């Protein structure tokens, strides 16, 4: 059951990435066909998005840690954190990440870094104070799974695609309005209409696919943590405890919230909130863990 969960999540993630690439390619094709632009639109959009993503990739982890008020953990003061991270890193055959602590009573944690050699894990003091040892191991295992699965790298790739879709959609709308205003003919009336409809809908489709991939990676990290610790119940209990905690995480914002193991902004609610959430419902994550 455990390995089936992991394999299914990986297959679905890469299927979504493939659909994402098809969306970008289809958008470029429609724009080029509607306005006889050739391939340069797609090339330019990819180049601009890639440049932005590269700068984020190289220095984004330091920015996120600084924004979160994280400081390097002290081995003497945070012995339990070092013991968990070092033991699980050996079991996962990963370099021990740099460990950071955020002074905040709300229990939460996140991982960042472009690859295992440049990875960091940050936990709040509330997490260290409020979780039992096996629950802490489950959370650290989850963050190590994100590192080992190169989730940060994958999400940078997805960010490039989302940025490309946003740029191309904006250009299509601007070009279409200008063409109609100046009375110029497009490469085909129906194709032009399809291009404009796609320009309106593509950013929403890109966002929904990005969120779907993010949610799949959370499920995958949960499953990998269960595999690593051999204790899925401990992680299920930890997730429920983190979700039930009422202390607000002061350092979190909409930019950093997707990184945390549990959404720190506490956006509970109906189906619409779930659709636009970067995290799966805690009840569903706990249920899947207990099935393992």
Say which of 4, 86, 103, 143 is annotated catalytic: 143
More confident site: 289 or 168: 289
CA-based torsion, 136, 217, 207, 42: positive or negative = positive
Query: For residue 119, what pLDDT is reported?
Result: 92
Q: How much of the chain exceeds pLDDT 90, in percent?
A: 40
Is the pLDDT confidence value at 125 over 80? yes
More confident site: 176 or 125: 125
Query: Per-residue pLDDT tens for 190-232?
Result: 766 777 788 888 888 888 877 888 888 899 999 999 999 999 9
Cβ-contact 101, 70 below 8 angstroms: yes
As a whole number of angstroms, the distance between CA 140 and CA 153 comes to 19
Query: Per-residue pLDDT tens for 19-55?
Result: 777 777 777 777 777 766 666 656 666 666 566 656 6
As a whole number of angstroms, the distance between CA 122 and CA 226 comes to 20
Q: Which residues contact 181 (CB under 8 A, 6 or more apart)?
A: none
Find the distance separating the first CA and the last CA of the chain, reported in whole Å.
6
Query: For residue 205, what pLDDT is reported?
Result: 82
More confident site: 32 or 6: 32
pLDDT grade for 88, boundaries at 50, 70 and 90: very high
Is the pLDDT confidence value at 276 over 70? no
Query: For residue 181, what pLDDT is reported?
Result: 58
Cβ-contact 121, 85 below 8 angstroms: yes
Is the pLDDT confidence value at 56 over 80? no
Active site includes 86?
Answer: no
- Furthest-apart CA pair in the chain: how many Å? 73
The ranges assigned to domains in the chain are: 2-21+48-165+200-291
CA atoms within 13 A on the CB side of 149: 28
Mean pLDDT value of segment 152-172:
75
Q: Which residues pair with 123 in a beta bridge?
A: 101, 109
Query: For residue 124, what pLDDT is reported?
Result: 97
Is the pLDDT confidence value at 238 over 70? yes
């Amino acid at each position: 059951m455990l390995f089936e969960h992991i394999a299914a999540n990986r297959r679905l993630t890469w299927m979504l990435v493939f659909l994402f690439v098809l969306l970008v390619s289809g958008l470029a094709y429609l724009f080029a066909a509607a306005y006889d632009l050739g391939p340069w639109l797609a090339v330019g959009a990819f180049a601009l998005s890639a440049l932005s993503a590269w700068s984020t990739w190289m220095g984004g982890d330091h920015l996120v840690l600084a924004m979160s008020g994280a400081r390097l953990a002290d081995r003497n003061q945070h012995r339990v954190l070092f013991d968990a991270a070092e033991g699980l890193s050996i079991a996962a055959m990963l370099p021990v990440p740099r460990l950071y602590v955020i002074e905040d009573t709300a229990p939460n944690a996140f991982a960042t870094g472009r690859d295992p050699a440049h990875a960091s894990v940050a936990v709040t003091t509330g997490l260290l104070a409020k979780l039992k040892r096996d629950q802490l191991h489950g959370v650290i295992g989850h963050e190590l799974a994100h590192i080992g699965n190169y989730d940060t790298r994958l999400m940078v790739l997805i960010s490039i695609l989302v940025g490309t879709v946003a740029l191309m959609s904006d250009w299509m709308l601007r070009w279409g309005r200008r063409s109609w205003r100046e009375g110029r003919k497009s490469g085909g009336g129906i194709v032009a209409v399809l291009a404009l409809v796609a320009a309106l809908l593509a950013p929403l489709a890109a966002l929904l696919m990005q969120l779907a991939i993010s949610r799949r990676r959370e499920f995958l990290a949960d499953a990998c943590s269960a595999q690593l610790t051999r204790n899925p119940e401990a992680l299920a209990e930890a997730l429920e405890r983190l979700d039930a905690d009422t202390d607000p995480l002061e350092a979190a914002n909409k930019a950093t919230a997707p990184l945390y193991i549990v959404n720190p902004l506490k956006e509970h609610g109906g189906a619409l909130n779930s659709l636009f959430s970067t995290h799966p419902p805690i009840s569903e994550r706990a249920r899947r863990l207990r099935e393992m």
